Chain A
Amino acid sequence: MIRRPLLVSASLLSAFALFAQLGTPGRAAAPAAAKPAKLAYNDQVLPILSENCFACHGPDSGSRKAELRLDRAEFATAKRKEGPPAIVPGKPDESGLAQRIESKDEKKMMPPPEAHKTLKPAEIALLQRWIAEGAEYQEHWAFIAPKRPTVPAARGAAGPIDAFVQAKLAENGLALSPEADRRSLIRRATLDLTGLPPTPEEVDAFVADRSANAYERVVDRLLASPRFGEHRARYWLDYVRYADTHGIHFDNYRAIWPYRDYVIRAFNANKRYDTFVREQLAGDLLPARTMDELAATGFMRCNLTTNEGGTIPEETRINELRDRVEAFGATFLGLTTGCAACHDHKFDPFTMRDFYGLAAFLGNTAEKPWDLNIATPDPVLRLPKEETRAAAEAVLARRAELQEKLEARRARGRELVAGWIATGARPRAVPATALELRLRLDENKGDLVKNSAPGAKVTEFKADTNPLVWGENTWLWPSMRMDIFTRLALGDHGDVDAGDKFSAGGWLYLRAKPGGGARTGTGSGSLLSRMGEAKRRGGAGWEIYQEGGQFTVNLVPVIDAAAEAEIEAAAKVAPPPAAAARKKKGSTTTPVVDNPRYAPPAPAARRGIAVTTKGTFPRDEWLHVFFTYDGSRKAAGVKLYVNGRPVETDAKLDTLAAKDSLRTDATMHLGRRDDFQPMRETRFQDVRFYKRALPADEVARLPFEDLAAEIVARQPDATKWSTDENFVVTERFFLGETDVETRKLATAIASHDEAFGVLTKDGEPTLIAQERNAPAYSDILKRGDYYARVERVGPTTPHAMPPLPQGAPTNRRGLAEWLLAAEQPLFARVTVNRMWQEVFGRGIVESAGDFGITGAKPTHPELLDWLALEFRASGWDVKKFYRQLVTSAAYRQTAAVTADRLAKDPTNRWFSRGPRFRMDAEMLRDSALAASGLLVEKLGGPSVKPYQPAGIWEEVAMPESNTKIYTPDKGEGLYRRSLYTFWKRASPPAAMETFDATSRETVCTRRARSNTPLQAFVTMNDPQWVEAARKLAERAMKAEPTARARFDFLARATLSRPLSAAEVGPLTKSAEKIRAHFAADAGAAGEILKVGESPVDAAFPPAELAEWTIVASQFLNLDEFLTK
């Protein structure tokens, strides 16, 4: 196999230089003849490697072939088992890669035929030349923190921005275009800063104002207007995927519009951008001093949710988490993080561990994934009415101080415990006397569970029928859940009689999941029992039973024939209360008995003891449920405790006779009775059975103190406790139950919360985020499957970026500090790039949501870094930043383009002319309403429903959805700014979707800007636009008598300029045809004037008004009106 001589002919190289220059922005068009500059990995080599090699030899270990990785120097040059290293720097002849890419042998050549990728000769030559030049790798530009670039000197440039832009223009043989005329300039600036066109008066005033920095004064006026906040908020709602409905299946209404108000207020108040982000990410963890900081966390609740019947809550939780990490990645890091949910990212240094590390930060919030699609799934903030607002704010501020102190103590938790232990204090264990059975259920795998009671007769039990499900969440340790038909028999433990003293219980977690209809969850059943069904000794035995969130201890005696007769006699007098109670409850849905979806309920015990908790307890929460019985055969002898505290009970049955016995040959069971009545899919931890009646103080120590004692005995050094151990000993035992200072704070906070609740009782609800008081963690999932848990990871930041700043807490607050740290390479760049894109129509990095290896390269890298550092240095001053952009010469250029400029810069990527692009959907509608005088300017408030053709929602919505019927508002609601329009995910506002508005189901950092006939239909025939045209016509006719003057009026109102002479001809010609039609057909005029709710101005003859409505509609359809 002959190796082509390395020295490739000069022509090929120069041809390649042209080719390379074409494809890589930012490189000067090096004249072909000069010696080509050294190859830069990021500019020329990386695009070829990522396109052709990284799919199998990139960062993703999952799909890597032949254990070869080419994306980093250390791997590419590593020695290999067989054959030469892929790259030997400086020696292409000895580099396996160089040989392989040249080979024609099908079995050797790279990329292999089945990869459907072929390297062009020029690319092969380039790779060989790069290796010859030493194969130097470069870090990807976006992962290197920005350094302050030197501002290039530029002729007469106004500021640094223009200096950088002019430098790049010069490189490409271009120069700044002349400044736009004053009318275009004020129209452009007003639209960019407020989203609305300037009034003719404002235009004329500016044109007349020849004083210095007249333009700057206009900009300052616009920045100060409340419209600025509304316009900026419109973009932000795309970046955070705000919507007024949940999304999947019912797609019901979701109360979250106060979060939109927060965003508008923040931009208007010019809140520092770092505070703005910190409050949205971790407002509750600051801790929240004002209601704004709480409402800001609405950001965390913007993800899609579902209530589909067949969903599995654990799977839904993972899907919602993936959506959050993907949105966080695109909006704050400009990275396609979502790829790494199933495999290491194939191009960027972002692994599955990084993905699930971020998921641990963002997923430790209190709301339940199965939110029933109701409007206000907890946690919810209710914004109080005016009269109690001040008081509520005061309470919240006070609470924040207390929380601050509490957090300080929690931060020093281990240290405090160590100090406490040093004084000789110890958590007191619960004496293990008569502890017959203790199932820790911490095995975390397999079907065998151990009985760790000291001296236990039987030390191991095996689950059968369905396997146990491990590690779905964590409490004392990773959880165990019984599956649907799991049976865990516990041998002949718990063999006690009515006269014996015994106690039992433990941690449990009742699962909430779709069961159809009102009955969410897994029905009712026995949690721990030694009891058989009626056939077996009359259902004798003892159990603790759950139904409707209430816990019941049943002691059922053996029933023989004689006892039967006795009961019958007694029954005639008064039916046992328990049985009666059950019949009433079950009657609402189809009679429970014959609905096989649930096993029939237990026959009411007719004699014995039944003690039920008065209160009901929530599902989807860990509860420690325990009972003691003193053998007194009296209901009063049974005590029930939840979370270690006694609870009030009802004695539903207290008829245990002296001679009655409970003994049964049924075996003891966890999660069911021996024969039936399982409490399905429940999670259990540390379940115990004592053959004695524990006193209240011992029961109080069962939830945490007993385990804490065990941990401290094993490991007195607090610094060595694992996260789970620390949670038990420090968080829950020491701080939660022992440390006086913390308990005082906790009770004070609780009372403040209660007061706050009262003050905001019937306020306006909005969804907020609340951190769970449990360790944050997440599981790496094989191929992203929700149940394929591979490894548990705590909150960790991506490995290729700087670590968490010193002292930052490992929660969302810490994540916010990490994001805002100076050495964070991406955050500031991604933000300024998007702000630039809003104003210039195109980012310096065109793929605003992907700064990764396959994303676009920055056209002006130095300018991007300068803007990022300037924005940070300015104290994250948003208004100052936009001011800098719109006052730059680059922005003020005329948008007119010459053939030469079009040839050299067809897509305006070098900003060789002023920005000119079709306005977004919201700006278009708002501008039409403003021009017509219909716009109602009211800041904030609930979402509104303007005009929309009938049936659009009804066609797609489910009958059960509460957003099925669309009834447009009357009056004001029809004419509010478009960012207040009700946003239904399954069917976004029809007219706006035609102009590329998104459904807000996934994050969108950049909307498309299509140009289709459907859009022409909207601006010509949508009632909103026809009515706007009529009202605009009325304004013109009221203001001006003659046609020429009216044309001028319309031009000023829509185009911010008078009509030019040349434009009068075509308008007059079309107006004559239109007038002729309406003159001939009077009825037609009447018809068109009926469109829209606003009244018709009777001062004008219908035919004339109809004619001028069409003329006004012409102005609202001009490209010049639709384009900024």
Chain B
Amino acid sequence: MRRIAIFLFLAALPLRAAPATFATRVAPALEKHCAVCHGAEKQKAKLRLDSYAAIVAGADSGPVLKAGDPKESELHRRITLPPHDDDFMPSDGKPPLSALDVKVIERWIAAGAPESAEFDAPAAPVVRVAEPAAPDYLPRLDQARKLATTLGVRLVPRSRVTTDGLVLRTASAPRQCDDALLAKLAPVADLIVEAELSRTRVTDAGLRAVATWSNLQRLDLARTGVTSAGVAALAPLAKLESINLTGTKVDERGVSALKANPRLTRIWTFGTPVASSP
């Protein structure tokens, strides 16, 4: 099941125009940004924006909406001014409407500002929560740390998101890391999503342990003694996406074995018997 990263920022690119209505797309934006001063409790400039009727009624200085013509609508003009302009809305430093909200309001007014009919507007981005990369590491972090310290390697959280997994890091003392060590990592193996094992003394024997690391996504075996035989054992790693075999003895047989895993798209074989790296 493909793992999709969390969309951290609203993708501004409209995917495809999905039908929208005042209630589903316009009202929520106005509620979020405008109701504080133009709502039930306060009506600055005697303007309310928390209901369709109120919007049409407009403010003490006249209507804020000209159906079909966003350019002439004061509502649209105010939210498209440069942020430091005195007339810019929302005023005095409150967070501005997102570019997408402004686009939606513009399309709504252009479509004649219908109360209930649908109109054409860019789809709201779907925020799909990614499927966690690994189990929550926090409860077992101290255990992982103690284990890593006694073995002379490091297990570093990939990020503060506690389901992002741990990175096995050996750069400080690569010669210290060998097959036996990898085997001892079994108790926390499911937490490991990345393993930096370049220049270590890992051989095919060690890869049998690595093959049990179910959540491993990236594996760096550059300049180690692994061969095609050992690498083939990694087939069960369903989540493996990238493997670095530069400077190893792995040849064509090992690479084709790995290619069985569709997710494993990035295989680096510079300085190996493999004819030419991808």
Q: Which residues of A contact B35 (CB under 8 A)?
A: 107
Contact partner, A114, options B36, B42, B95, Cβ 8 Å: B95
- Size bracket, chain A contacts: under 10
A-B contact count (CB 8 A): 7
Nearest CB in chain A to that of B95: its residue: A114
A82 and B93 contact, Cβ closer than 8 Å, known pairs A107-B35, A107-B36: no
A65 and B92 contact, Cβ closer than 8 Å, known pairs A82-B42, A107-B36: yes
Q: How far is the CA of A107 from the CA of B93 in the complex (A)?
A: 13
* A66 adjacent to chain B (CB < 8 Å): yes
Q: Which residues of A contact B95 (CB under 8 A)?
A: 114
Q: How far is the CA of A65 from the CA of B36 in the complex (A)?
A: 15
Q: How far is the CA of A107 from the CA of B95 in the complex (A)?
A: 11
Q: How far is the CA of A65 from the CA of B92 in the complex (A)?
A: 7
B42 touches A65 (CB 8 A): no
Q: Which residues of A contact B36 (CB under 8 A)?
A: 107
Contact partner, B92, options A66, A82, A107, A114, Cβ 8 Å: A66
Nearest CB in chain A to that of B35: its residue: A107
Q: Which residues of A contact B42 (CB under 8 A)?
A: 82
Within 8 A of A (CB), among B41-64: 42
CB distance from B20 to the nearest CB of A (A): 23
**Residues of B in contact, count (CB < 8 Å):** 6
Q: How far is the CA of A66 from the CA of B94 in the complex (A)?
A: 11
CB distance from A54 to the nearest CB of B (A): 16
Q: How far is the CA of A107 from the CA of B36 in the complex (A)?
A: 6
Contact flags (1/0) for A513-555 with B, using CB distance below 8 Å?
0000000000000000000000000000000000000000000
* Residues of B contacting A: mostly: loop
Q: Which residues of B contact A107 (CB under 8 A)?
A: 35-36
Nearest CB in chain A to that of B39: its residue: A107
Q: How far is the CA of A107 from the CA of B32 in the complex (A)?
A: 8
Q: How far is the CA of A681 from the CA of B95 in the complex (A)?
A: 45
CB distance from A1098 to the nearest CB of B (A): 45
CB distance from B196 to the nearest CB of A (A): 23
Within 8 A of A (CB), among B179-233: none
Contact flags (1/0) for A254-270 with B, using CB distance below 8 Å?
00000000000000000
Q: Which residues of B contact A114 (CB under 8 A)?
A: 95
CB distance from B203 to the nearest CB of A (A): 32
Contact flags (1/0) for A57-94 with B, using CB distance below 8 Å?
00000000110000000000000001000000000000
Q: How far is the CA of A114 from the CA of B33 in the complex (A)?
A: 13
Contact flags (1/0) for B69-105 with A, using CB distance below 8 Å?
0000000000000000000000011010000000000
Nearest CB in chain A to that of B93: its residue: A65
Nearest CB in chain B to that of A67: its residue: B92
Nearest CB in chain A to that of B92: its residue: A65
Q: Which residues of A contact B92 (CB under 8 A)?
A: 65-66
Nearest CB in chain A to that of B42: its residue: A82
Nearest CB in chain B to that of A63: its residue: B93
Nearest CB in chain A to that of B37: its residue: A107
Q: How far is the CA of A899 from the CA of B105 in the complex (A)?
A: 67
CB distance from A1023 to the nearest CB of B (A): 31
Q: How far is the CA of A107 from the CA of B33 in the complex (A)?
A: 9
Q: How far is the CA of A107 from the CA of B92 in the complex (A)?
A: 14
Q: How far is the CA of A65 from the CA of B95 in the complex (A)?
A: 13
Q: How far is the CA of A65 from the CA of B93 in the complex (A)?
A: 8
Q: How far is the CA of A219 from the CA of B55 in the complex (A)?
A: 84
Q: Which residues of B contact A82 (CB under 8 A)?
A: 42
CB distance from B27 to the nearest CB of A (A): 15
Q: How far is the CA of A82 from the CA of B35 in the complex (A)?
A: 16
Q: How far is the CA of A66 from the CA of B92 in the complex (A)?
A: 8
CB distance from B242 to the nearest CB of A (A): 34
Nearest CB in chain B to that of A105: its residue: B36
CB distance from A429 to the nearest CB of B (A): 50
Q: How far is the CA of A82 from the CA of B42 in the complex (A)?
A: 9
CB distance from A55 to the nearest CB of B (A): 11
Q: How far is the CA of A678 from the CA of B92 in the complex (A)?
A: 47
CB distance from B206 to the nearest CB of A (A): 31
Q: Which residues of B contact A65 (CB under 8 A)?
A: 92-93
Q: Which residues of B contact A66 (CB under 8 A)?
A: 92
Nearest CB in chain A to that of B36: its residue: A107
Within 8 A of B (CB), among A100-144: 107, 114
Nearest CB in chain B to that of A106: its residue: B32
CB distance from A973 to the nearest CB of B (A): 42
Q: How far is the CA of A82 from the CA of B36 in the complex (A)?
A: 13
Nearest CB in chain B to that of A82: its residue: B42
Contact flags (1/0) for A37-71 with B, using CB distance below 8 Å?
00000000000000000000000000001100000
CB distance from B129 to the nearest CB of A (A): 20
Q: How far is the CA of A114 from the CA of B35 in the complex (A)?
A: 17
Q: How far is the CA of A807 from the CA of B95 in the complex (A)?
A: 53
CB distance from B77 to the nearest CB of A (A): 24
CB distance from A96 to the nearest CB of B (A): 13
Nearest CB in chain B to that of A113: its residue: B95
What are the 7 closest A-B residue pairs judged by CB atoms, nearest first?
A: A107-B36, A114-B95, A65-B93, A65-B92, A107-B35, A82-B42, A66-B92
7 contacts between A and B (CB under 8 A): A65-B92, A65-B93, A66-B92, A82-B42, A107-B35, A107-B36, A114-B95
